[in-house]
Amino acid sequence: MKKIVTLIALTFVINISKAQKTKLSEIPKAVSESFKTNFPDVKGEVWEKEKEKDNFEAEFKINTVEISATFNSDGKLIEREVKMNISELPETITEYIKKNYPDYKLSEASRIVNSDGVLSYEAEIMKGKNTTDLLFDSNGSFLEKSKD
């Protein structure tokens, strides 16, 4: 039992350390200015600092659509991630998930466009309380898997 509690606590600490809510006053000026240039009408964004890459991610909504934008510390927009309906995922992706993760439920989907304009898709799948993100290219070919 003691090992289980320790494991749960360790998992919690690791998840918190990956990205932490960040006050707007702690965001580098280049990042906040780039955000205002790219999203001039957005107010009330929530910022997180990604520890492993030293990037900053803003989460916000435009017309009820959830969006996140990731910037490096110099203010360069690295990617935009836009939530989408699961039904909008390319069929190749949903078929891949059905075949390779039959015990998982598809819970979220996003369209990601990087700074070079390259499109990819992210599908979040769940089994119980465990979530996993799957990344696919614009043609629906599997690229990588990461645990949340």
Q: What is the pLDDT of residue 17?
A: 37
Mean pLDDT of all residues in 15-34 = 76
Given a contact cutoff of 8 angstroms between Cβ atoms, the answer to whether 55 and 70 are in contact is yes
Do 139 and 94 lie in a common domain? yes
pLDDT in tens, 105-132: 999 999 999 999 999 999 999 999 999 9
Report pTM: 0.80
Q: Is residue 143 part of a domain?
A: yes
State the residue range of the domain holding 107: 85-148
CATH code, domain carrying 144: 3.10.450.40
Give the confidence band of 52 by pLDDT, cuts at 50, 70, 90. confident
- Output helix, strand, coil percentages for the chain, rounded to the nearest 5: 30, 45, 25
Do 92 and 145 lie in a common domain? yes
Mean pLDDT of all residues in 10-37 = 71
Do 66 and 124 lie in a common domain? no
